[in-house]
Each structure stands twice: as structure tokens, then as C-alpha cells.
Structure 1
Amino acid sequence: MKVWVDRNLCENHGQCAIAAPNNFEMDSEGVLQYEEEFPEAELEYIEDAMDVCPVQAIFLKGEQ
């Protein structure tokens, strides 16, 4: 399973970086950076990041 951010929707609010800091971060210019792959133990945090995204730009793809 991988995480995917729709860059057309993302407005770089950074709430995902607070919810799942091991997978999401804001760079020095305030642009979201993230890792597509993540360990299964991080799934709860990824789901939290999806929930707190104000524009619902974060998705999971693939199978568990």
C-alpha cells in the first residue's frame, strides 16, 4: 500500500505533517513533501493525515 497526494487539490496546509510527521513534511518553501511507501505500523497515522486534510487530497493506493 502506498500513500498518494493529489497535487491539484493540495493547498499545503501542513496538517498531514502534524498528524504523520514520519511520512509528511513541509520543505523550506512551505511545499508538502512525502514518502509514498510507509511501514504498516504507520497506517494509523496516514489515516489520521487523510482525515485532517482540509481539502481531502491524500489517498491510499494498493492493497494492504
Structure 2
Amino acid sequence: MRLVVDLNRCQGYAQCAFLAPDVFAMHGDESLLYNPEAAAEQRENVERAVAACPVGAILLELTDEDMANVPAPDAVAGAGPRSGGAR
């Protein structure tokens, strides 16, 4: 996964640093440091950080490898045709 942060848009709220501290860190009061190539095991925390950014400054780009690890829709529990019973 690849991260891009619009540092002109970032206002230093630091929600990302609280939710994904292994990827994002504040340097001083307003300067954000981040790892643009976050490890796959950080994906859940990064997704939370992206969603929590109040100004939408963080963009998460999934690589082909990331997409290969996404389960197919029919592999998701509860997916697929229902069996039995009248409709």
C-alpha cells in the first residue's frame, strides 16, 4: 500500500498519528512525518487514520499485491445464494 499526504491540506490535527503511530508522527505542532510505503500489517490502522482525517489530506493507494489479498465477493462469509425456503 502506498500513502500520499497533501501536506498543504494537512492542518496538524494528528488523528492519523494517534490511530497509526507506526506510520504517522507529528514533528513539532504542525509538521507531519509519515512512511509512504506502510507495511501491510498496518493496513487496518492506516484505513482508520485515512477515515479520521478531518480535512481528507490522506490518500491510500492499494498496490496490485494489496488487491490480490482482498477476498473475492463469493469468499466472504454469508455471501452467495441462499438455499431452501420459499421467496
TM-score under structure 1 normalisation?
A: 0.89
- The aligned counterpart of 2:35 is 35
Greater relative CO (CA pairs within 8 A, separation 6+): 1
Aligned residues: 64
**Moved segments of 4+, more than 3 Å:** none
Instruction: Determine the C-alpha separation between the residues in 1 that align with 2:45 and 2:13.
Output: 17
In terms of mean alpha carbon deviation, does 46-55 or 30-39 score higher? 30-39
What stretches of structure 2 of length at least 5 have no aligned partner?
67-87
1:33 alignment partner, SS class = strand
Relative to the length of structure 2, the TM-score reads 0.68
Match of 1:48 in 2: 48
Structure 1 residues not aligned, in runs of 5+: none
Percent identical among aligned pairs is 38
CA distance in structure 2 between the aligned counterparts of 1:28 and 1:55, rounded to whole angstroms: 19
